[in-house]
Amino acid sequence: MKIITAKTLGEDQQALVLGIFEENTDNYKSYSKELAQELQDALKEKMFSTKFGEIYSTKMKPFHKIVVIGMGKKEELTIEKVRKLLGKAVTQVKGAKLLSFSTNIVELAASHKKLSEELVGMASAEALLLANYSFSKYLSNDKKEKMKDIELVSLQWTHAPAAFGEGLKKGRVIAETTNFVKDLVNEPAAVVTTSYLEKAAKAVAARHPMINVKVMDMEELQKEGLHALVGVGKGSATPPKLVILEYKGAKSGPFTALVGKGITFDSGGYNLKPTKYIEDMKTDMAGAAAVLGTIKAAAELGLKKNLLGVMPLAENMVSGKAQHPGDIVRAYNGKTIEIGNTDAEGRLVLCDAISYTEANYNPEIIIDLATLTGACVVALGYYAAAIMGKDDSLLEALTKAGIDSGDRVWPLPFFDEYQDWMDGTISDLNNVSMKGKGYEAGSITAGVFLSKFVEKAKWVHVDIAGSAYWSVSGDYVQKGATGSGVRLLMYYLLDQSGK
C-alpha cells in the first residue's frame, strides 16, 4: 500500500473517507452542499450519529463511495482512536472492493492538541498497513480476488510535513514487520518448524550487517546443559534449537535481551491437549516471532541500542522419545525441575533461554514474551497482554509503551505469598504448582517459575497468550495472528533510545 500526503482531499482516488467530530455537525457545507444536506438529513432521521465509530455511506461523483465516520468528542480523541478510525476506513473501502481512498481523518486528528504530529504519523501508517493485511496465500485465485488489498491512500495534511513524514516512515517499518510476524504465526506448524524459524532468523541477519546470529543445535544444547529446553523438544522429528540474534546498534552499553517462546506446535505432550484446545497451537511460537520481528524492525530503523533476540525453539510432541510426566530435568542454571505436566512446556524452554542469556551476555534488562498460559486468556481476553515482574520502572515503561502503541499490557501481582508455589517435593522446582488445587493464579505462578531463573538483570515477563491470536476481528486487527509484542517493544525501545 502506497501512502501519500496532499494538501487537499484528493479526487483521483476511488473513495473518500471523511471524519466528523460531535462538535461540528454542519461540517462539509463548503465542501459540497449536496453532501452536507444528505448528512444533515441522515443525522435528523437518526440514520447516522457523530458518536465515535459510527459510519454513514453514500455515493457521489467523482467518488464511487463516500464514507463519513463519527469521530466522537474532540476532547476524547486518543491516538488509539485514530488507529481505529483508519482501520474502519480501510475495512469500508476494502468491503466495497475499491482500491484507493482519500481521507481527512488524520488532518482532523492532528488539530487535536494532545497528539504529537510524529505519533499521528506513526499511528496512521500502522493502522492502514495492519488493517490492509490478509493471510490469503492458501486461497484459490477467485477467492483471493474478492479481498484485494488497497493500493493507495491519500492523507490530507496541511501542516509542516517533516515530523509527520518521519512518523509515517517509522510506522511503516513497525507495521510491515508486524505483518511479517503475523505471516509466521498464521502459517501452519507443518511449515513453520524449528529449522524454518532458524532460517527466517538467518535471513533477517543476512540483510543487516549489524546483526549476528548464533544457533545452538540439539547436540550443543545437551553439551551445554540446557536440559529443560531439550526435554521439551526431544519428542519431535524437528529437533530443538536456541537461536540468538545479536544487534549492535550502539558502540557501547549493555544489552537489552528479548526472549520469545518458540513452540512451533504445542500438542501438550503426554498431557495431551483435548479438542478445542489443541487446534490453534501452531501459534505457540508467537513470542519468538515477535522477538525476531522486533530485531528486524530495530535494524531497519537503525535503533541506537544493543539488543539480543533470543528464541528457544522446540516442538512439544508425543513419541517414544518424548519426555514423560514425572521426569526430572536439570536446567542450565543447575536447578532440578520435576515435569508435573508436559503441557507446561513454555516455562521450561524459557527458563533455560533466560539463564543462558544472563550467564553469557550479562544483559541489563530481560523482557520475555510468551503465549504462556490459558489462564491469561481467561483473565484478560485479547485486548491486553499480562505483565509481571519486580522492577517498577520497567513495568511502568512497558505500560506507557502499551498505551501509546495500542498493543496494551496489564499488570498481574507478584505477591510474596506466591513465591514458593512452584517449589518441588523431590526436586528444586516443579513445572506446575503443587499448592492448593494446582490451577489457582495460573499466569502468576508461571511467572514465578520464570523468576527463579533470573539472577540480577531487571526482568519483566509478558504473557501474550490472549493478545497474540484473536478469534474475533478488531478495527485494524484481523481474526488470527496479531503480531502482538512488536509494537509494544518498538515503542518501548524507541522511548528508551530517545527516538
Residues with catalytic function: 273, 347
4-12, 342-350, 452-460, 478-486 -> range binding ligand BES (CB under 6 A): 342-350
Nearer to ligand BES, 90 or 189 (CB): 189
Strands (DSSP E) contained in 22-127 are: 55-60, 63-72, 100-103
Candidates 154, 236, 371, 430: give the one binding ligand BES (CB under 6 A): 371
Please, which of residues 254-273 interact with ligand BES by CB under 6 A?
266
- State which of residues 284, 300, 352, 404 lies at the interface with Zn ion (CB under 5 A): 284
Residue 162 CB: number of other CB atoms within 10 A? 11
Gap between the Cα atoms of 290 and 295, Å rounded: 9
- 314 close to 345: Cβ distance less than 8 angstroms: yes
Q: Residue number with the shortest CB distance to ligand BES?
A: 374
Alpha carbons 12 and 154: distance in angstroms, whole number = 9
What single-letter DSSP state applies at residue 324?
A: P
Q: Which stretch binds ligand BES (CB under 6 A): 220-228, 229-237, 365-373, 475-483?
A: 365-373
186 lies in the binding site for ligand BES (CB under 6 A):
no
Which position among 20, 150, 375, 486 is part of the footprint of ligand BES (CB under 6 A)? 375
In sequence order, the 6+-apart residues with CB closer than 8 A to the CB of 34 are 60
Q: How far is the CB of 318 from Zn ion (least distance, A)?
A: 14
Q: In angstroms, what is the minimal distance from the CB of 399 to Mn ion?
A: 27
Residue 95 makes CB contacts below 8 A (sequence gap 6+) with: none
Q: Which of residues 245-284 bind Mn ion (CB under 5 A)?
A: 266
The x, y and z cell numbers of residue 21, run together, are 467530530
As a residue count, the chain comes to: 499
Footprint (CB under 6 A) of ligand BES, residues 454-483? 465
Q: How far is the CB of 394 from Mn ion (least distance, A)?
A: 27
Least distance between ligand BES and beta carbon 324 (Å) = 15
Q: Among ligand BES, Zn ion, Mn ion, none, what binds residue 388 when CB lies within 5 to 8 Å by partner kind?
A: none
Rg (CA), the chain: 24
Q: Which does 375 bind (CB under 5 to 8 A by kind): Zn ion, ligand BES, Mn ion, none?
A: ligand BES
The count of chain residues that interact with ligand BES, using the rule CB under 6 A, is: 16
Set of cell numbers at residue 39: 448528512
Indicate the residue among 263 and 446 with the shorter CB distance to Zn ion: 263
Scanning 43-51, 167-175, 336-344, 426-434 for contacts with Mn ion by CB under 5 A, the matching segment is 336-344
- Site size for Mn ion, by CB under 5 A? 3
Kindly give the residue spans of alpha helices, DSSP state H, lying in 270-419.
286-300, 346-361, 374-380, 392-405
DSSP classification of residue 317: -
Query: Which is nearer to ligand BES, 40 or 341 (by Cβ)?
Result: 341
Q: How far is the CB of 345 from Mn ion (least distance, A)?
A: 5
AA identity, residue 393: S
**Binding of Mn ion at residue 343 (CB under 5 A)?**
yes
Q: C-beta of 370: minimal distance to Zn ion in Å?
A: 8
Cα dihedral value 132, 138, 143, 148, nearest 10: 20
Burial 382-401 (b: 16+ CB within 10 A, else e): bebbbbbbeeeebbebbbeb
Stretches 13-21, 344-352, 374-382, 389-397: which one binds Mn ion (CB under 5 A)? Answer: 344-352
- Backbone torsion region of residue 436, taken as left when φ is above 0, otherwise alpha when ψ lies between -120 and 50, otherwise beta: left
Helices (H), 383-455: 392-405, 442-451
Using rule CB under 6 A, residue 185 touches ligand BES: no
The x, y and z cell numbers of residue 18, run together, are: 471523511
311 touches ligand BES (CB under 6 A): no
Query: Nearest 5 degrees, angle CA 62-CA 67-CA 68?
Result: 120
Q: Which three cell numbers stand for residue 171?
A: 510506522
- Measured CA to CA, the distance from residue 20 to residue 70 in angstroms comes to 5
Quick one: which segment of 216-224, 304-312, 370-378, 472-480 binds ligand BES (CB under 6 A)?
370-378
Nearest distance from residue 151's CB to Zn ion, in Å?
39
Residues that bind Zn ion (CB under 5 A): 263, 266, 284, 346
Which residues of the shown chain bind ligand BES in the complex (CB under 6 A)?
A: 266, 284, 341, 343-346, 371-375, 377, 432, 442, 465
